[in-house]
Structures are given as structure tokens and as C-alpha cells.
Structure 1
């Protein structure tokens, strides 16, 4: 499941509502918000939360609120009182500190509970089972790390993620957005350090490869990236923006071959393509270069370099995938649809 973040450190505006609507329409199902570290009075925070949950209810979006026990006390709630907490009108709570599993078990019978993945240990799983917790309503959510160099190691994440699956828990993690970043570091809210600054859809697909069940975007997405997510969620299509206008690429239907080539993405068109003459001065093909053969062989296909490749004397370069989206190339699956768009400048 795909989620995204809307924070409560300021009053919500019409722009926030439009963002909720756009993300819902792009296939996102859940909103993550945080009740931790807010400096406003409790009644102001609760008013903002009420506004958010009301909008999300209308849009059929789930709401997961990040809290600690101290935050709940500040807002006038007690983690031990599940019935009272239901009045927050959230779909679930993400409890970011260590808590007694009997509280978690009780909450799991009335709402979703996300537990901090880094704290969970074998004895916690044992206690949840002893307390007859509803494991269908519990998942493990990894933290995001705002400060550069503090993000999680990918191998450690993969091992912890697998252990959590073995405990019959779904997992979730954060990727950074490519729009407005949160302060104070403005470096992206990401779980994995290796994904800091990576194009969001590529980061989401990487988490999928690592068997993470749920992906949450920690920052805002740009409008073009929202459209790319929408094409992926609705048509399983990968969108690639090209560095120069090329109607030939945009107007044809492209699909990857039914196998994965090592060095290129090998895209075929349903119809015969026009013939191109070889370039007078053949060019190297760095990662992302789009080219076509001019010798009549494989005349209904184009190639995208997945790594730096040498000159092809029979080839003609048609353009290049924009730098940040080159990270998508390893994730293009056999038979998958690929859509080219011009890069807005």
C-alpha cells in the first residue's frame, strides 16, 4: 500500500486539501501525520487533526498518527484507554516509543497499530501472542531519518524486515519526496540512507524489491511525480522524461521485451518505425541514452542504456532520460509498458 505525509505544524489550507485529492487520485491510500514534537497548544493540534481526519474520511483515505505516550498525555489522552483514543478519529496510531504490549493488544482490537520496527524484539512478539493481540491490525513501521548520513543501512533493514515478516507482521518504511522538504535539514524524510535523494518511484520500487509491504512518502511530491505514480498504480506503466522534445518517442506505444537484457532496456513498438540514418559522428552512450539502430535490424525497437556503453556505429541517439529517473531503469520489468514525456524546462 502507498501512503504519503501531511504534517500538523501549521494550519491546513486549500492547497493541502488539493494535495490530498491529487494523491488519492494517483492511487495512494493512507495519510501519515505526526503528533510528536509539536509546539502548539493541545487544542490547536487537535483542531488541525480533526480537519485532516474529516477531509480524509470524505476522500476515503486512512489516517495513521505518529505519537508517543507523552504526546498523548499532552493532548489529554491515555494509551491505556482504547475507547477514549478512538475519539481521535484516526484509522490507527504509530507508537514511536517502547510500550507495554498489553496496551498494544487492546488497541489492536479496535484500530490499526504501527509499532516502531527498531524496538521490536522476540519477547515483544511473545507478549503480543500471550495478550491475544490482533496481528491483522499490527504492523512494524521503520523510522525516517531527516539528517544526512543517519539513515538506515540497507542490509540491516533487509534482515530486520525479513525477521518481522517471519513474525507475521507487515512492514512499512519511508521514502523522501522530490517536492518541498521538511526542516530543519531539508534533506528528505527517508528510512534508507541509500535512498536519500533517489527519484521517489524508484525508491518505492526498491522497497518493494526488499519485500517491504507499505511505502510512505515522507515529503511532498511534485505534480509530475504524482502523475508518474498514477500511471504506475493504474496501468503498471513506467514514465520516463526525456531531456529534449521528441514526438517520435512520445507518440509510439512501447513495451519492454519479455526478458531482461543486462545492458539495455529493450523496448519494442507494435508497428514498424521510420528508418533513421546513422550519425556522422557516433556518440558514446552513457546511462539513460536512448538510441535506435540504423541498419534495418530490429527496426521496431529502441534501446535505453542501463550502464555506460560504447559507441554503436550503426546507431542514432534519440535523446536521454533525465538524470534522476535513470534510477528507474533497473526496475522496468519484462513486458512492462513505458511512457515517454518531455522534460519541462
Structure 2
């Protein structure tokens, strides 16, 4: 599942809802929020939480709210009255600290409860089982880390996830956004430190493929429109959407636009469009020879004989070749996505407007 974040420190106005609508349209069905409330903001948070619940119900999205201690009482709710929490559209509670395993067990019979994936211990599991927790409603969520250098290490993160999987937990983690970063630091909100300045989709794929994560949430409230399209394309259409800039010296850039599939016998140095040479095209005239940088989109010209028309994307820097026309360049922010175009992966090239 994909999710986004909405924070209650500011008014939930039409702009916020419009952004949420866009995220839902592009495949995001979860909402994460937090109830760490300043002393003089209880009334505002109570109102905004209800608005968020109404939006989620309207859009058929699931809201998970992060709490600690007795913070729910500040907005007139209580863990002892879970029906009231559900009634305002909140589907789950993420427990941070200050809540006993007995309370968690009781709550798990009414709603989804997420536990801190990084701090959960064997002792906690024993206590939860003894208290009769409904493990079908328990999930393990990792934190996000606003301060640079404090995010988690991939190796230890993955080892902890292996342990969580052995106990049947669904695992959730965060990747940074790329649109409006959350203050006061504006340094991204990733679970893994290595993802702090990464392309959100690159980070998400790594968590899913390498780290045993099940659900991905964007730490910030939303993504750029083009990044939303990339998430939708990858997770719904199973196609990697790549944006490119045309090479000004080439007249063939538009030939590379559209859907492709990397050959199943994937090459080391390039992504090869499996069916590009099967399309009927006019002769590709040799153009001014250019160095092929990582991300260069190329089309073999008539000097290459039967290879004429083959479309490739360079995975590494390659020297110029008079038999190969460089027609476009994958934009720099999308270069990290190329490594996930394995054999058989569908991909789409779209030129920036």
C-alpha cells in the first residue's frame, strides 16, 4: 500500500485537500498524521483531526494517527473509547510511547494498531500474546527522522525486518517527499538515512525489494505531479516512467518516446528496448557523434546494419560511436531509477515539456 502524510499544525484548506485528491488519484490510499500537540493548540488540532477523518471517509482512505501518552485526551478522545476514534474516520493508532501492552492488546480488538518497528522486543511480543492481542490488527511501523544523520542504517533495518517478518508483522516505512518539505529543518523525512535526498520512487523500490517492507508512506505531505505519475505508473501499470530532455542536435528524439520493455537477457551497460528494431521505420541517418553519458537515450543508425533502430538507455558512461545517435538524455533526478529496470521490466520514455 502507498500512503502520504498530512500534518495538523496548519489549517486543512482547499489546497491541502486538492493535493490529497491528486495523491489518491495516483494510487495513494493511506494517510499518516501525528497528534503531538502544543499546549495551546488543542482546539485547532481537534477540529482538524475531524476534518481529516471526514476527508478520509469521503475519499475511502485509511488514516493512521501517531500518538504518545495521554495526548488523545487533549482532543477529547481516549484509548478506552475506541468506538469514538473510529467514528470520526480514524482507522488506526500508531503507538509511540506511554501506552501499556495491555492497552495495546485491548485496542487491537477494535482497530489497527501500529507498533514502533525499531523498538519492539521479544518481551513485548510475549506480553501482547499473554494479554490476548489480536495480531491480525497489529503492524510494525518504522519512524521517519527529520534531523540529518539520524536515520536508520539499511543493514540493521533489514535485519530487524527479518525478525518482524518471522513474527508475521506487516512492515511500514517512510521515504522523503520532493515537493513541500516539512519544517522546521526541511531535510526530508526518511526512515533510512541513505534516502534523505533520494528520488522518492527509488527509495520506495529499495525498501520493497531489498528491505522486506510492505507499505510505503511519503513522510512529507505530497509529491511533485511528475513524481505522482511515476508512482502510479510503477505500482499500478508496472511500468517505470522516465522523463527525458531531447538532444538539440538530433531529429530523432520522438522515436524513443513511448512504451518499451527491457530485454529479458538484460545487458550490463545499457537498457535495450526489446521490440524497437521490429518497428517499421525510415532509415536513421548518422548524426554528429556524441559521448554517451549515463542516461543517454540512443538509436542505432544505418551504419549499424540490422541493428538500425535499436533504442537503448546507457547505464554507464560510454564512448561516442559513429553508429549510434544520441537523441535524448534522462533527466538527472531520474537516473537513480535506471537500476530498477531489470530484465523484462516495462518502461516508458516521456519528453519534458
SS in 2 for 1:120: coil
Task: Indicate the residue corresponding to 1:327 in structure 2.
Answer: 336
TM-score (norm 1): 0.93
Question: Which has the higher mean CA deviation after the structures are superposed, 24-33 or 254-263?
Answer: 254-263
Which deviations, in whole Å up to 9, do the C-alpha atoms of 1:315-338 show, x marking residues without a partner? 111111011111111112432322
TM-score by length of 2: 0.91
Structure 2: tracts of 5 or more residues without a match? 248-252
Match of 2:283 among 248, 260, 275: 275
The whole-number CA distance in structure 2 between the counterparts of 1:298 and 1:200 is 36
Q: SS state of the match for residue 242, structure 2? A: strand
User: Counterpart of 2:267?
Assistant: 261
Question: Structure 2: how far apart are the matches of 1:237 and 1:177?
Answer: 21
Distance in 2 between the 1:8 and 1:38 partners? 11
Whether the aligned pair in 1 keeps the contact of 2:174 and 2:189 (CA below 8 Å) is yes
- How far residue 92 of structure 1 moved from its aligned partner, in angstroms, is 0.1
Aligned positions of 1:178-197 closer than 5 A: 178-197=178-197
Q: Residues 230-284 of structure 1: CA distance to partner in whole angstroms, max 9, x if unpaired?
A: 222331111111122732222x43111123322211113352344323344x332
Name the counterpart of 1:303: 312
Relative to structure 1, is the Cα distance of residues 196 and 52 closer, same or farther in structure 2, using a 3 angstrom cutoff? same
For 1:15-26, list aligned pairs within 5 A. 15-26=15-26
Q: Report if aligned partners of 1:69, 1:79 keep a CA contact under 8 Å in 2.
A: no
User: 2:324 matched to 1:315?
Assistant: yes
Q: Is residue 293 of structure 2 the alignment partner of residue 286 of structure 1?
A: yes
On the 8 A contact 1:273/1:299 being kept in 2, the answer is no
Kindly indicate whether the alpha-carbon contact (under 8 Å) linking 1:8 and 1:34 is maintained by their aligned counterparts in 2: yes
Shift of 1:89: 3.1
**Following TM superposition, by how much is the alpha carbon of 1:98 offset from its aligned partner in structure 2, in angstroms?**
5.4
Please give the secondary structure, in 2, of the residue aligned with 1:64: strand
Alignment: residue pair count: 342
User: Contact between 1:175 and 1:215, CA under 8 Å: does it hold in 2?
Assistant: yes
Q: Indicate the residue corresponding to 1:208 in structure 2.
A: 208
- Decide whether aligned partners of structure 1 residues 98 and 71 sit closer, same or farther in structure 2, where only a CA change above 3 A counts: closer
